[in-house]
C-alpha cells in the first residue's frame, strides 16, 4: 500500500538492516457528559467516588443502559476514519478479576465491533505521506483506579472512571518507524478533536496507547511482537519503540528469540520491561453480555450523522491549498489544530477584498503569530493579537502602506500594547514612503557620495542591492523598496 521502506527508516544491526513493524491500539475517552451504561458524570477530577452510580459500583441487580450519545460519538469517529460502520454490533463481557473492576468483567466489544476497517492518511515531517489501515474501533468501559498512597496499610479504590466510555482504535501493523507512529497518533488525535469525540488530552489520560512492536529483516514475514501497555505521551511512544526495537534486535542477533509478552515503558529509565508473558496471558472467556441487546441502527441514522460532520483536517487542507494557494506544508500546519485553522480563516474574513492575499496571511499567522505565541508559551486561544488586528497588519502590507520590516515592529507594538494597527501607523509615523520626491533626495545623496560603488554597480548590476540597502537604512526602513529599486535603476542608467 505504501512506498517501500526507505533505508533511512531501517535500524542498523551487527548482522545488517532491520525493519521495525508497529501497530497501535489507542484508547480514546469518548467526549460525553455521562458514562457508557450509567448516568453518572464523566467530569475529570472531583472527590474520589463522587461520580459513581450503583451500576458503576456493580451493585447486585443493577442493569446497564446504553448511552446513545456514546454510540453516536463512536459512529462519528468511525466516519472520520473513513471506516465501515457496522449496523449491528454486540457487547461482550471480558472476564477478569482486578480490584478496580467491581463487575468482575469489562463490557467491551469482541467479535462484532461497532466500526470496522478504515484508513488514515498521515503526513510525515519529511513531507511524505503514508496510509495507515484501521482494523476496528470498538466501545468499552474504563476501569476504576487504585490509590496506594493514601494509607500505610491499605489500598483505596476510586471508581469515578469506572464505566466511562472508551473507544479502542486498533491500527493494522502498517507503521515502520517511531517517527511514523508519532505522526499517526498526532493525526488521529487531530481528527478526534475536530470531531469533538475525544478531547485528546494525554496528560489527563483521555488518550493512551498500547504499542505493539516487532522487528524483521526487510522482506521477511512479521516477527513476534511485544505489546507495551498504556503509554501516555507521544514522546514516550517514540522512545518506547526505539528502545524496544533495539532490545529485540539485540536478542535476535545474539541467536535468541522474542517471547510474545506484555511490557511496560518506564520513562525515568527510558526502557521497557516485562509485565507478563504469553503463558500468563488472560483467558478472558468473552461472551455476549446477556444484559444488553445487540446494538442496531439504520443506515439512515448513520447518514444523518455523516451529514452533520464538520470539515475534517484533510478536506480543510485541500481547500486551503486549492482556494488560497497555500503550500502543503503551510496548510498542514494550519489545519493541525482546529483552533489555528479557525483563526486563519477569521483573519482572511477580515482582510479587505482589494488586498486579500491568503499566502501572506498564512505566513503571518504561522511565522509571526505562532512563533511569538510559542516564544511566550501561549496558545492561540489566549493570543494578545486578535484576528482583526492581524488582518489589519496584513492589509497594511498588502496595500503598500508599510513594509514587511515595519510590519514586524507594528506587530510587536500591537502584541504588547494592543490598539488599532491602522491608527498606530498614523500616530507613530510608520507609513512607508512612496513619495518619489522624498526618496529621490536620499537616492541622489547616496549616489553622489559613493562614486566608486556607482562604477561597480554599472559593471555589475547585482551591486544595486547595496544601494537599496543604504536608501532603506537612511529612510528608517520606511521607503518603499520597489520604488527605491526603480528610482536607482533610472539614476544609474541600469
Ligand atoms: P491482541 O488483541 O492480542 O492485542 P490484535 O490482533 O488485535 O491482538 O493486534 C493488536 C495490535 O498488534 C494491532 O494494532 C496490530 O496491528 C498489531 N500487530 C499485529 N501483529 C504485529 C506484529 N507482528 N508486529 C507489530 N504489531 C503487530
Ligand atoms: Mg492487544
Q: How far apart, in whole angstroms, are the C-alpha atoms of residue 71 and residue 54?
A: 22
Cell of 93: 463481557
Q: How far apart, in whole angstroms, are the C-alpha atoms of residue 417 and residue 386?
A: 12
Q: Are residues 363 and 255 in the same domain?
A: no
Q: How far apart, in whole angstroms, are the C-alpha atoms of residue 163 and residue 57?
A: 9
- Ligand 1 atom 22 nearest Cα: 225
Instruction: Average the pLDDT over each of 156-170, 345-359, 432-446 and give the range with the smallest value.
Output: 432-446
pLDDT for 486 beyond 90? no
User: Residue 410 domain-assigned?
Assistant: yes
Question: What total number of domains does the chain contain?
Answer: 3
pLDDT at residue 114, rounded to an integer: 98
Q: What element of type H or E holds 439?
A: helix 436-449
Residue 230: nearest ligand to its CA? 2
CA distances from 63 to 226, 289, 290 (A): 37, 11, 10
171 lines ligand 1 (CB under 6 A): yes
For residue 170, which atom of ligand 1 is closest to its CA? 14
The predicted model gives 77-103 an average pLDDT of 97
Q: How far is the CA of 18 from the centre of ligand 1 (A)?
A: 19
Q: Are residues 17 and 164 in the same domain?
A: yes
Write the DSSP symbol of residue 288: E
* Largest pairwise CA distance in the chain: 100
Cβ contact 244:181 at 8 Å: no
What integer best gives the mean pLDDT of the chain?
Answer: 93
Q: Are residues 205 and 273 in the same domain?
A: yes
Q: Which of 170, 220, 248, 258 to mutate to test the pocket of ligand 1 (most atoms within 8 A of CB)?
A: 170
User: Residue 473 domain-assigned?
Assistant: yes
Residue 374: count of CB within 10 angstroms of its CB: 10
User: Residue 281 domain-assigned?
Assistant: yes
Question: Taking the CA atoms of the chain, what radius of gyration do you get in angstroms?
Answer: 30
Domain boundary among 262, 287, 305: 305
The more confident residue out of 331 and 46 is: 331
98 lines ligand 1 (CB under 6 A): no
Q: Are residues 483 and 398 in the same domain?
A: no
User: Residue 2 domain-assigned?
Assistant: no
Band of the pLDDT at 57, cuts 50, 70, 90? very high
User: Residue 417 domain-assigned?
Assistant: yes
User: Residue 82 domain-assigned?
Assistant: yes
Q: How far apart, in whole angstroms, are the C-alpha atoms of residue 239 and residue 6?
A: 20
For residue 172, which atom of ligand 1 is closest to its CA? 16
The predicted model gives 195-218 an average pLDDT of 96
Q: 129 φ, ψ to 5°?
A: -135, 150
pTM (2 d.p.): 0.88
Band of the pLDDT at 433, cuts 50, 70, 90? confident
Scanning 81-215, the segments in alpha helix (DSSP H) are 178-195
* Residue 138, domain extent: 7-305
pLDDT at residue 1, rounded to an integer: 54
pLDDT for 89 beyond 70? yes
The predicted model gives 159-178 an average pLDDT of 98
Q: How far is the CA of 216 from the centre of ligand 2 (A)?
A: 20
Beta strand 287-288 with 11-13 is unpaired
Q: Are residues 172 and 245 in the same domain?
A: yes
pLDDT at residue 345, rounded to an integer: 96
Q: Are residues 108 and 154 in the same domain?
A: yes
Q: How far apart, in whole angstroms, are the C-alpha atoms of residue 289 and residue 74?
A: 19
Q: Are residues 365 and 233 in the same domain?
A: no
- Return the closest-CA partner of residue 300 out of 139, 74, 85: 85
pLDDT for 476 beyond 80? no
pLDDT tens, position by position, 248-290: 999 999 999 999 999 999 999 999 999 887 777 778 999 999 9
User: Residue 63 domain-assigned?
Assistant: yes
pLDDT for 76 beyond 90? yes
Instruction: Average the pLDDT over each of 276-280, 297-301, 380-384, 455-459 and give the range with the smallest value.
Output: 276-280
- Ligand 1 atom 17 nearest Cα: 23
The predicted model gives 140-158 an average pLDDT of 96
Q: Are residues 85 and 218 in the same domain?
A: yes
Q: How far apart, in whole angstroms, are the C-alpha atoms of residue 398 and residue 382?
A: 26
Cβ contact 1:140 at 8 Å: no
Q: How far apart, in whole angstroms, are the C-alpha atoms of residue 80 and residue 115?
A: 11
pLDDT at residue 354, rounded to an integer: 61
Q: How far apart, in whole angstroms, are the C-alpha atoms of residue 469 and residue 490?
A: 17
Q: How far is the CA of 257 from the centre of ligand 2 (A)?
A: 20
Q: How far apart, in whole angstroms, are the C-alpha atoms of residue 87 and residue 291?
A: 20
Q: Are residues 155 and 272 in the same domain?
A: yes
Q: How far is the CA of 22 from the centre of ligand 1 (A)?
A: 8
For residue 25, which atom of ligand 1 is closest to its CA? 14
Q: Are residues 66 and 156 in the same domain?
A: yes
Beta strand 261-266 with 16-29 is unpaired
The predicted model gives 179-184 an average pLDDT of 97
Domain boundary among 392, 409, 427: 427
For residue 214, which atom of ligand 1 is closest to its CA? 24
pLDDT at residue 429, rounded to an integer: 85
Write the DSSP symbol of residue 367: I
Cell of 454: 556607482
Band of the pLDDT at 293, cuts 50, 70, 90? very high
Residue 124: count of CB within 10 angstroms of its CB: 14
User: Residue 1 domain-assigned?
Assistant: no
Q: Are residues 199 and 324 in the same domain?
A: no
Q: What is the CATH number of the domain that holds 444?
A: 1.10.10.410
Domain boundary among 375, 399, 427: 427
Cβ contact 145:156 at 8 Å: no
pLDDT at residue 210, rounded to an integer: 98
Q: Are residues 283 and 399 in the same domain?
A: no
The more confident residue out of 462 and 409 is: 409
User: What is the DSSP code string of 322-338?
Assistant: HHH---HHHHHHHHTSH
Cell of 307: 451529514
Q: Let me know the angle formed at the C-alpha of 148 by 147 and 149, rounded to the nearest 5 degrees.
A: 100
Q: How far apart, in whole angstroms, are the C-alpha atoms of residue 205 and residue 32?
A: 15
Q: Which of 109, 225, 277 to mutate to test the pocket of ligand 1 (most atoms within 8 A of CB)?
A: 225
What lies within 8 Å, CB to CB, of 84 at 6+ separation is 78, 115, 116, 117, 118
Amino acid at each position: 500500500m505504501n512506498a517501500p521502506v526507505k533505508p533511512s527508516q531501517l535500524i542498523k544491526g551487527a548482522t545488517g538492516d532491520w525493519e521495525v513493524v508497529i501497530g497501535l491500539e489507542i484508547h480514546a475517552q469518548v467526549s460525553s457528559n455521562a458514562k457508557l451504561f450509567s448516568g453518572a458524570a464523566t467530569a475529570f477530577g472531583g472527590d474520589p467516588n463522587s461520580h459513581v452510580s450503583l451500576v458503576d459500583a456493580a451493585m447486585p441487580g443493577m442493569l446497564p443502559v446504553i448511552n446513545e450519545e456514546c454510540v453516536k460519538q463512536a459512529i462519528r469517529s468511525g466516519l472520520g476514519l473513513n471506516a465501515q460502520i457496522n449496523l449491528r454490533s454486540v457487547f461482550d463481557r471480558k472476564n477478569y478479576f482486578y480490584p478496580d473492576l467491581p463487575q468482575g468483567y469489562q463490557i467491551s466489544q469482541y467479535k462484532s465491533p461497532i466500526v470496522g476497517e478504515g484508513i488514515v492518511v498521515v503526513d510525515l515531517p519529511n513531507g511524505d505521506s503514508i496510509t495507515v489501515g484501521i482494523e476496528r474501533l470498538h466501545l468499552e468501559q474504563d476501569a476504576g483506579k487504585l490509590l496506594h498512597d493514601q494509607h500505610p496499610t491499605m489500598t483505596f479504590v476510586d471508581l469515578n472512571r469506572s464505566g466511562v466510555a472508551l473507544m479502542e482504535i486498533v491500527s493494522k501493523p502498517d507503521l515502520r518507524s517511531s517517527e511514523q507512529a508519532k505522526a499517526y497518533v498526532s493525526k488521529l488525535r487531530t481528527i478526534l478533536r475536530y470531531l469533538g469525540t475525544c478531547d485528546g488530552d494525554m496528560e489527563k489520560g483521555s488518550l493512551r496507547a498500547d504499542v505493539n512492536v516487532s522487528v524483521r529483516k526487510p522482506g521477511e514475514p512479521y516477527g513476534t511482537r511485544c505489546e507495551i501497555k498504556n503509554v501516555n505521551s507521544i514522546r514516550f511512544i517514540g522512545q518506547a519503540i526505539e528502545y524496544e526495537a533495539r532490545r529485540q534486535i539485540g536478542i535476535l542477533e545474539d541467536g535468541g528469540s522474542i517471547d510474545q509478552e506484555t511490557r511496560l515503558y518506564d520513562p525515568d529509565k527510558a526502557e521497557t520491561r516485562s509485565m507478563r508473558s504469553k503463558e500468563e496471558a488472560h483467558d478472558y472467556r468473552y461472551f455476549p453480555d446477556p444484559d444488553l441487546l445487540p446494538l442496531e441502527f439504520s443506515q439512515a441514522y448513520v447518514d444523518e450523522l455523516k451529514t452533520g460532520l464538520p470539515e475534517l483536517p484533510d478536506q480543510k487542507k485541500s481547500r486551503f491549498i486549492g482556494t488560497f494557494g497555500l503550500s502543503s506544508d503551510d496548510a498542514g500546519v494550519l489545519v493541525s489544530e482546529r483552533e489555528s485553522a479557525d483563526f486563519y480563516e477569521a483573519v482572511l474574513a477580515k482582510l479587505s477584498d482589494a488586498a486579500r492575499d491568503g499566502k501572506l496571511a498564512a505566513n503571518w499567522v504561522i511565522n509571526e503569530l505562532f512563533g511569538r505565541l510559542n516564544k511566550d508559551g501561549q496558545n492561540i486561544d489566549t493570543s494578545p493579537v486578535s484576528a482583526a488586528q492581524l488582518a489589519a497588519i496584513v492589509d497594511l502590507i498588502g496595500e503598500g502602506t508599510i513594509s514587511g520590516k515595519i510590519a514586524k515592529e507594528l506587530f510587536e507594538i500591537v502584541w504588547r500594547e494592543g490598539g488599532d494597527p491602522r491608527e498606530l501607523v498614523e500616530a507613530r509615523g510608520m507609513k512607508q514612503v512612496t513619495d518619489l520626491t522624498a526618496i529621490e533626495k536620499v537616492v541622489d545623496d547616496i549616489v553622489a557620495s559613493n562614486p566608486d560603488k556607482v562604477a561597480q554597480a554599472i559593471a555589475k548590476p547585482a551591486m544595486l542591492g547595496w544601494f537599496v540597502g543604504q536608501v532603506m537604512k537612511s529612510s528608517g526602513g520606511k521607503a518603499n523598496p520597489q520604488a527605491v529599486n526603480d528610482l536607482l535603476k533610472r539614476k544609474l542608467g541600469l
